Amino acid sequence: MKRREFLKVAGAGVAASAVAAPAIAQSMPEVRWRLTASWPKSLDTLFGACETFSKYVAEATDNKFQVQAFAAGEIVPGLQVLDAVQNGTVEIGHTAVYYFIGKDPTWALFCAVPFGLNTRQQNAWFYDGDGMKLMNEFGKKYNLYALVGGNTGAQMGGWFRKEIKTVDDLKGLKFRIGGLAGRTLQKLGVVPQQIAGGDIYPALEKGTIDAAEWVGPYDDDKLGFNKVAPYYYYPGWWEGGTAQHFLINQAKWNELPKNYQAIVTAAAGLANVEETARYDARNPAAMKRLLGAGTQLRAFPQPVMDACLKASNEVNVEISATNPDYKKVLDSMQAFRNDQYLWWQVAEYTYDGFMIRTRTRT
What pLDDT, on a 0 to 100 scale, did the predictor assign at position 15?
46
Helix, strand, coil shares, percent, the chain, to 5: 55, 15, 30
The DSSP annotation for 11-31 comes to HHHHHHHHHHHHHHHHHS--E
**DSSP three-state, residue 352:** helix
Residue 171 in any domain: the answer is no
Contact 121, 210 (CB under 8 A): no
The torsion of the CA quartet 86, 90, 95, 98, rounded to 10 degrees, works out to -20
- Omega into 114 within 30° of 0, i.e. cis? no
In a domain, residue 325? The reply is no
* The pLDDT of residue 213: 95
Bridge-based pairing state of the strands 296-299 and 231-234: parallel
Is the omega angle on the peptide bond into residue 235 within 30 degrees of 0, that is, cis? yes
In a domain, 13, yes or no: no
**How many CB atoms neighbour CB 115 within 10 A?**
17
- ∠ CA 29-82-43, nearest 5°, is 85
With respect to residue 328, please indicate whether it lies within any of the assigned structural domains: no
Tell me 32's DSSP state: E
For the domain that residue 84 is a member of, what is the CATH number? 3.40.190.170
Return the pLDDT at 2.
Answer: 52
Kindly give the parts of the chain with pLDDT less than 70: 1-26
Nearest to 69, CA basis, from 32, 107, 36? 36
Q: In this predicted structure, what is the pLDDT of residue 9? A: 47
Domain count, the chain: 1
Residue 42 within a domain: yes
**pLDDT digit string (tens) for 115-141?**
999 999 999 999 999 999 999 999 999
Single out the residue of 67, 114, 109, 118 nearest to residue 246, CA to CA: 67
Query: CB under 8 Å to 55, separation ≥6 — which residues?
Result: none
Tell whether 287 is covered by a domain. Answer: no
> Beta 92-95 vs 31-37: how paired, if at all?
parallel
Confirm whether 141 is domain-assigned.
yes
Residue 42's domain spans which residues?
Answer: 29-154+241-281
Please report whether residue 7 resides in a domain: no
